[in-house]
């Protein structure tokens, strides 16, 4: 059961002029749409970040190659239900065949297509089914299909995930809209996730690549469900200029507003993935403050987020919070001054100067741990930097889902 996951309605999603989405059913998933085609106008810019898992899927390799070649990306093709990972040369050939098919229908070069897949690993991509369904997706292309697109990329997700907002700059309004999927095998970089965000303002390629890296580091790279990094993770940021004559500049106030707005979108989508985490009963925000660096704070946050002992304690509302101290000590952060570390749960101090607080009340702490949203705050007392990490508890339902995934 998702934890306070905002219900997305079709009417809440603003279109990006010129960006069209088409949905079809290729028969990969039973009785559900499982194919998405996204068509971009000729003047678009696209940046992408991908999993660092060395066993990355074929579509990840092909997408990275197509982006590196510098051709103007004109289309995305996404299937759910099959990851096309762990399939060797067959997987590569299949991903390229899908790109060729879509390119032929859209009258573009196959290098202008980015492929994405999500679903079961070590399962052959049903290329024939996808190729047969591509014309249906193309016939469905429409600027108003974001909500349906969010549903089409779901796997173990319990609900579609989307974000949309219009922000005001000095002389123009800018729309930011995005969708994502993911609920398990979540750990950066990045997650068993796909995320696609579009903004209708002209951002040059070099700046777009810088923007996606900065945004991802504090959003999609700050979430963990189970500590496992998938083979197919992809985060795509698209610039779809509403005004070809206007170019966003890095040192402008407008750029800072756009950067903040894109981060808000990515952060919302990243947290939506955690709120829909497999088997979740608790949504945890782990804040690490007064650190020497953001990276140091994130390392400690992730060490806590990925500890099975910490996560099971929160599932059971068991005030065995010495496990949090142990996770901090195992974080690979050197030279911590343990005597300066204070730890709070929902603003209640339970560890002071690296030891159990004199005010520690197990009944009160257990009561806080029963809540479905929990804030864990670690104060390191050694600097001015900070980081936030979002994670789930680890429940029996999670084990059930992942022990029966193929069946």
Taking residue 368's Cβ as centre, other Cβ atoms within 10 Å add up to 18
Q: What does the pLDDT read at residue 192? A: 60
Higher pLDDT, 395 or 1: 395
Tokens standing for residue 226: 């189970």
Whole-angstrom distance, CA of residue 67 vs CA of residue 65: 5
- From the list 307, 325, 336, the residue with the least C-alpha distance to 394 is 307
First-to-final CA distance of the chain: 20
For residues 155 and 121, give the distance between their C-alpha atoms in angstroms, rounded to a whole number: 12
**Cβ-based neighbour number of residue 247 at 10 Å:** 12
Look at residue 188 in the predicted model and tell me its pLDDT: 47
User: pLDDT tens digits for 382-404?
Assistant: 999 999 999 999 999 988 888 87
State pLDDT tens for residues 257-313: 999 999 999 999 999 999 999 899 999 999 999 999 999 999 999 999 999 999 999
- Tell me what the mean pLDDT of segment 353-365 comes to: 94
The whole-angstrom distance between residue 365's C-alpha and the CA centroid of its chain comes to 31
pLDDT averaged over every residue in the chain: 94
pLDDT band at 186 (very low <50, low <70, confident <90, very high): very low
User: Residue 175 half-sphere exposure, CB side, CA atoms within 13 Å?
Assistant: 17
The pLDDT value given to residue 307 = 96
Checking if the pLDDT of 49 tops 50, the result is yes
| CA-based torsion, 36, 229, 271, 217: positive or negative | negative
**Is residue 112 a contact partner of residue 71, using CB atoms and an 8 Å limit?**
yes
pLDDT band at 184 (very low <50, low <70, confident <90, very high): low
Helix (H) or strand (E) holding 181: strand 173-181
Is the pLDDT reported for residue 343 higher than 70?
yes
pLDDT in tens, 189-248: 434 689 999 999 999 999 999 999 999 999 999 999 888 778 899 999 999 998 877 889
Q: What is the pLDDT of residue 100?
A: 98
* Phi, psi values for residue 77, rounded to 5°: -135, 125
Q: Are 284 and 305 in contact (CB under 8 A)?
A: yes
State the Cα–Cα distance between residues 59 and 18, nearest whole angstrom.
25
Query: Is residue 405 very low, low, confident or very high in pLDDT (cuts 50, 70, 90)?
Result: low
Among 238, 257, 140, smallest CA distance to 197 is for: 238
- What letters, b where the CB count within 10 A reaches 16 and e where it falls short, cover 286-319? bbbbbbeebebbbbbbbbbbbbeebbbbbbbbeb
According to DSSP H, which parts of 243-321 are helical?
253-275, 294-305, 308-315
Task: Quick: pLDDT tens for 60-99.
Answer: 999 999 999 988 999 999 999 999 999 999 999 999 999 9
Residue 152 pLDDT: 97
Are 92 and 58 in contact by the 8 Å Cβ rule? The answer is: yes
Q: What pTM was computed for the model?
A: 0.95
Contact call for residues 66 and 236 (beta carbons, < 8 A): no
Domain with residues 10-275, CATH architecture = 4-Layer Sandwich (3.60)
Residue 49 Rama label (left phi>0; alpha psi -120 to 50; beta): beta
- Give span(s): CATH 3.10.20.340, the chain: 283-403
Decide if 158 is catalytic.
no
Residue 201 to residue 328: CA distance in whole angstroms: 42
Q: Pinpoint the residues of the chain covered by CATH 3.60.70.12.
A: 10-275
Mean pLDDT of 337-355: 96
306: left (phi over 0), alpha (psi -120 to 50) or beta: alpha
Model pLDDT, residue 138 = 98
Cα 240 to chain centroid distance, Å, stands at 21
Average pLDDT over residues 160-172: 94
Q: Which of 192, 229, 391, 392 is catalytic?
A: 192
CATH superfamily of 283-403: ArgJ beta chain, C-terminal domain (3.10.20.340)
């Amino acid at each position: 059961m998702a934890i306070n996951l905002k219900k997305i309605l079709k009417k809440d999603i603003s279109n990006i002029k010129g960006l069209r989405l088409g949905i079809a059913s290729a028969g990969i998933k039973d009785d559900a749409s499982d194919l998405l085609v996204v068509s971009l106008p000729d003047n678009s810019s696209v940046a992408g970040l991908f999993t660092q898992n060395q066993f990355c899927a074929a579509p990840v390799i092909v997408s990275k190659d197509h982006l590196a070649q510098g051709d103007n990306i004109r289309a995305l093709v996404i299937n759910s239900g099959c990851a096309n990972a762990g399939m060797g040369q067959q997987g590569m050939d299949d991903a390229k065949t899908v790109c060729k098919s879509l390119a032929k229908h859209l009258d573009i070069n196959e290098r202008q297509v980015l492929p994405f897949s999500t679903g079961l690993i070590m399962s052959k991509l049903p290329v024939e089914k996808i190729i047969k369904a591509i014309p249906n997706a193309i016939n469905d292309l429409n600027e108003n299909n974001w909500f349906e697109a969010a549903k089409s990329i779901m796997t173990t997700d319990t609900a579609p995930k989307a974000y949309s907002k219009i922000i005001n700059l000095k002389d123009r309004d800018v729309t930011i809209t995005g969708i994502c999927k993911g609920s398990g095998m979540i750990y950066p970089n990045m997650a068993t996730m796909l995320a696609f965000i579009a903004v209708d303002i002209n951002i040059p390629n070099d700046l777009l690549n810088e923007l996606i890296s900065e945004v991802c580091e504090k959003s999609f790279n700050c979430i963990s469900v189970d500590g496992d990094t998938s083979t197919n993770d992809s985060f795509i940021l698209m610039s779809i200029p509403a005004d070809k004559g206007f170019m966003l500049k890095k040192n402008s106030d407008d750029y800072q507003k756009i950067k903040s707005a894109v981060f808000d979108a990515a952060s919302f989508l990243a947290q939506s993935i955690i709120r829909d985490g497999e088997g979740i009963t608790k949504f945890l925000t782990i804040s690490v403050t007064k650190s020497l660096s953001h990276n140091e704070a994130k390392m400690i946050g992730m060490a806590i987020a990925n500890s099975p002992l910490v996560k099971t304690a929160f599932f059971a509302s068991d005030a065995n919070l010495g496990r949090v101290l142990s996770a901090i000590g195992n974080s690979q952060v050197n030279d911590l001054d343990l005597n300066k570390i204070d730890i709070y749960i929902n603003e209640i101090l339970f560890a002071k100067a690296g030891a159990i607080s004199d005010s520690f009340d197990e009944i009160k702490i257990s009561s806080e741990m029963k809540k479905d949203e929990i804030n864990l705050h670690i104060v390191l007392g050694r600097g001015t930097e900070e980081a936030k990490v979002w994670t789930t508890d680890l429940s029996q339902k999670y084990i059930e889902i992942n022990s029966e995934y193929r069946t």
